[in-house]
Amino acid sequence: MNVRILNSREDLNATAATVIASLLLSKPQAMLGLATGSTPIGIYRHLADMYRRGQVSFARAYSVNLDEYVGLSPEHPQSYRSFMNEHLFQHIDIPISHTRVPDGNALDLTAECVAHEQAILDHGPVDLQLLGIGHNGHIGFNEPGHSLTGATHVVDLKERTRSANARFFGDIDAVPRQAVTMGVGTILKAKQIILVAFGAEKADILKQALTGPVTTECPASLLQCHPNVLILLDQEAGGWLK
Ligand code: PGA
């Protein structure tokens, strides 16, 4: 794994955005694997700025998101579809028909999981997958446990994950208990992975994920098996590596 520790969050956001923009310059029809949460917001802001300055176009690109809450309609303000529209899609020129966020409100969630995998097959493979990391080592919503599922599937969210995300809902009881997520197998099929993390509260789990054993108890540790992973950290998250 290629680990880079940047001086500031701004540097980190700019570096990740530049890697994504460079890919689109060399491959305008690239498929991007996108993430939600606090971590990628600054990266998306940079990409929107680069688009406004004419430095990158998404007109031919495709995107597929990691996950979505079960039971929230796409219009729900806390759905990941709303998040993507608000933080990225409405600021750039990607055709909305080229973007896919799992539909957590689908009547047949099993069919929705199959459809998500099929969309990746149709326009993929994913050229670049952007990832954050949960405090418990999850990637996407692949929660730690005795086993992991390879393909896109429905997952029960851990209480740690629900309480971490309660800040967006105002009330823990409003946080959905399940999500649809790409599986770890889906994620590892991406040609390149960029994992981004900032802040001291991610340092311990990063230490486990990057230097500990490869184990389903820390899903991010499976990234050690991928041949093309770039880890971008700020000083607080990655200072222990020096
Ligand atoms: P965060 O979430 O970016 O809000 O810290 C990361 C994750 O849970 O994957």
C-beta of residue 66 within 8 angstroms of C-beta of residue 99: no
Residue whose Cα lies nearest atom 2 of ligand 1: it is: 37
Span from the CA of 133 to the centroid of ligand 1 (angstroms) = 5
Q: Please, what are the domains in the chain? A: 2-236 (3.40.50.1360)
Residue 103 dihedral angles phi and psi, to the nearest 5°: -90, 100
Q: Are 68 and 104 in contact (CB under 8 A)?
A: yes
Q: Give strand pairing partners of 129.
A: 33, 193
pLDDT, one tens digit for every residue, the chain (242 residues): 999 999 999 999 999 999 999 999 999 999 999 999 999 999 999 999 999 999 999 999 999 999 999 999 999 999 999 999 999 999 999 999 999 999 999 999 999 999 999 999 999 999 999 999 999 999 999 999 999 999 999 999 999 999 999 999 999 999 999 999 999 999 999 999 999 999 999 999 999 999 999 999 999 999 999 999 999 999 999 989 87
Pair type for strands 153-156 and 229-234: unpaired
Q: What's the maximum distance between 2 C-alpha atoms anywhere in the chain?
A: 49
Cβ of 142 less than 6 Å from ligand 1 = no
